[in-house]
Amino acid sequence: MTFLFCALLAAALLPPIVEGTVSEPGGAGAAFAQVTLAQGDHVQVVRTGRDGSFRFRAFEGTGLLTVKLPQGWSAAAVTREVGPALRGDLIRADFVATARRVLRGRLLVAGAPLPEVRLSAGSASGSTDARGLFVLEGLPAGVVDVRVDAPPLAGRVEMPAGPADVARDVSLSVPDFGSLRVSRVPQDGFERPISDWLASKRLGRPEIGRMERLAALVGLDPAFRLAMVAPSREAARGAQAAAVLERYLTGPALVPPERVLFAVAEFTRPGHLELLLTRLEGPR
């Protein structure tokens, strides 16, 4: 009892402690941020550690915490009231901050740029220009999936923990048709020269009719998918043509984007992009 009483008495005699972190939720801390604790005439200033943590031996009463973030960081709130603090108290005060991460480079398919497509990574989104160049801002830390809306492709890039402006090309992986868990439905497909898509050549009525028939069929069964298939050796040009075709399918033809696939195969005629009706298979 005497030891417990002494421990409680010692804790009560200690000054209040105010501590916390300036960091991303579950992520990197804002190192070397300036944190100020103002309590009346008492003003203390510390710098956060490498993990974004700070700690004050405070005075009794209320106070105001203010954070000055280092370059490359932002926060919705940089002030916070604390207290009233009493001797022996431990007061926690965390600040949520966001590191500015920018990724800039080229979007590549089989080593060739993929121009004029929409892409996203985390909550960031943007478009490539005519040379396949892009800039994405607001990326999370760690391994990030970079996804293209049309054609549906993805690649990966690793972003650093803190603020960064990274210049790096992103290569997209194009699946082989045989690796997709789909089987061909016995319906006539539709093919068109890749060069016609890239030149924005006007579609003829028979071509429109065949495409719209496939677009109507894909809505008859939740397991149906439209597969855009390019020759294996023409993945880059095939992806560019598929971007044009998918915009037509998901626009005028009203096909949901999640019902459209893109792949390469040896069976596709050289120089052509083929549109096939397929069905999802069960787990292999």
Q: What is the pLDDT of residues 199-208, one digit of tens each?
A: 999 999 999 9
- HEC profile for the chain? CHHHHHHHHHHHHCCCEEEEEEECCCCCECCCCEEEEEECCEEEEEECCCCCEEEEECCCEEEEEEEECCCCEECCCCEEEEEEECCCCEEECCEECEECEEEEEEEEECCEECCCCEEEECCEEEECCCCCEEEEECCCCEEEEEEECCCCEEEEEEECCCCEEEECCEEEECCEHHHCCEEECCCCCEEEEHHHHHCCCCCCHHHHHHHHHHHHHHCCCCCEEEEEEEEHHHHHHHHHHHHHHHHHHHCCCCCCHHHEEEEEECCCCCCEEEEEEEEECCCC
pLDDT of residue 6: 47
State how far the Cα of 178 lies from the Cα of 4, in Å rounded to an integer. Answer: 72
State how far the Cα of 75 lies from the Cα of 52, in Å rounded to an integer. Answer: 13
What are the domain boundaries of the chain? Answer: 2-98, 100-172, 177-280
The fold of the 100-172 domain, in CATH, is Immunoglobulin-like (2.60.40)
Both tokens assigned to 228: 């855009």
pLDDT of residue 12: 53
The fold of the 2-98 domain, in CATH, is Immunoglobulin-like (2.60.40)
The pLDDT confidence band at residue 253, using thresholds 50, 70 and 90, is confident
Q: What is the pLDDT of residues 41-84, one digit of tens each?
A: 999 999 999 999 999 999 999 999 999 999 999 999 999 999 89
Q: Are 2-98 and 100-172 the same fold in CATH? A: yes
Low-confidence winner among 7-16, 69-78, 99-108, 184-193 (lowest mean pLDDT): 7-16
pLDDT of residue 175: 95
pLDDT of residue 3: 53
- Whether residue 156 contacts residue 171, with contact meaning beta carbons closer than 8 Å, is answered with no
CATH homologous superfamily, domain 177-280: OmpA-like domain (3.30.1330.60)
> Is the per-residue pLDDT at 282 higher than 80?
no
